[in-house]
Chains A and B, each alone.
Chain A
Amino acid sequence: MTQAILQAQRTHLAQLLDAIQRSTYYLHATEQRLPWPLTAPLLEAQKKNAEWFETLAAMNERFAKLQDILASAMRHTALLMGEPTDTFLQVLAWFEKQRVIDSIEQWQLLRTARNLAAHDYETDYEQIAEHFNALHALAPVLYATAGRLVRMCQQHLHLTPARGDFASEFNTITLSNT
């Protein structure tokens, strides 16, 4: 890797770390706006409340976005640390060994659970409630992973988030979920 490419990779990863902090902050903020656990009667009662359903849509999107950014940042971190990145499974295996993710299986389960979500159940309030309660229960796994990844980049690559605007909130959220 030439010096210019290396520097570009580092800058890109610093921006991804920033995006992780920002996405963590916003997913957490969205969660705070809802009364947990959600129930079918509660959702049914709010079925015409656009603000409620916009919050739920945002939670779906932010959960997926945080996991996707984490995946992208893990790939770039592995690349900069000289680890194999031919397949994402290799990347996950390495981060499992470094204890950044708990296990490959859990990572895949998070992804599958989030994708199973909104298929045919738009009007089945019991299913909608179950889906969001599951995301709420799984979000701390993403927060903890995010915290460990950012700390790993600081320690081993001496790389910090590009702007760090959300650093203090991010630390509070991730440390309370570690």
Chain B
Amino acid sequence: MRLTQQQRELILQSVHSRLGPETRTILFGSQLDDQRHGGDIDLLLEPPTMPPLLQRAQLKLALESALGRPVDLVIHPLDRPATPFQQLARLQGVELQ
């Protein structure tokens, strides 16, 4: 994983303050590959229910501002079945804690 401890804490603080502390946060994609450089930060977030569009947009902006790079959010609300893409992200990702 290429994220520092400080970056992981920043992510968790932003996610928990906006979507609730019970939201699971899973990093997937290129940030897990130590051989690569740069790139977006891909996060799968699992809140209990789907947050409104503007709340998701605010979270994305807050994360990009705090981390200084593009962030892609995939939201899987736990009251709905995961899509195949969300299942893949969960299987290949690492939960931030």
Contacts and interface: CB of A to CB of B under 8 A. Distances in A.
Q: Do A and B interact with each other, yes or no?
A: yes
A120 B74 contact: yes
Given A130-B52, A131-B53, A134-B53, A120 B83 contact: yes
Interface in B72-87: 73-74, 83, 85
B10 interface: no
A113 B74 contact: no
B57 interface: yes
Interface residues of A, number: 14
Given A116-B60, A120-B83, A120-B85, A109 B54 contact: yes
The secondary-structure label for the interface of chain A is helix
B85 A113 contact: no
B54 A134 contact: yes
Contacts of B7: none
Nearest to B60: A112
B96 interface: no
Nearest to A135: B53
Contact of B57 (A116, A120, A126): A116
B56 interface: yes
Residue among B54, B56, B85 with max Cβ neighbours from chain A (10 Å): B54
Interface residues on B, range: 10 to 19
B73 to A, nearest CB: 8
Contacts of B54: 109, 113, 134
A39 to B, nearest CB: 15
Interface in A108-131: 108-109, 112-113, 116-117, 119-120, 126-127, 130-131
Nearest to A117: B53
A170 to B, nearest CB: 27
A109 B74 contact: no
A131 B75 CA distance: 14
Nearest to B64: A112
B92 interface: no
4 closest A-B pairs by CB: A112-B57, A113-B57, A134-B53, A109-B57
Interface of B: 50, 52-54, 56-58, 60-61, 73-74, 83, 85
25 contacts: A105-B61, A108-B61, A109-B54, A109-B57, A109-B58, A109-B61, A112-B57, A112-B61, A113-B53, A113-B54, A113-B57, A116-B53, A116-B56, A116-B57, A116-B60, A116-B73, A120-B74, A120-B83, A126-B50, A127-B50, A130-B52, A130-B53, A131-B53, A134-B52, A134-B54
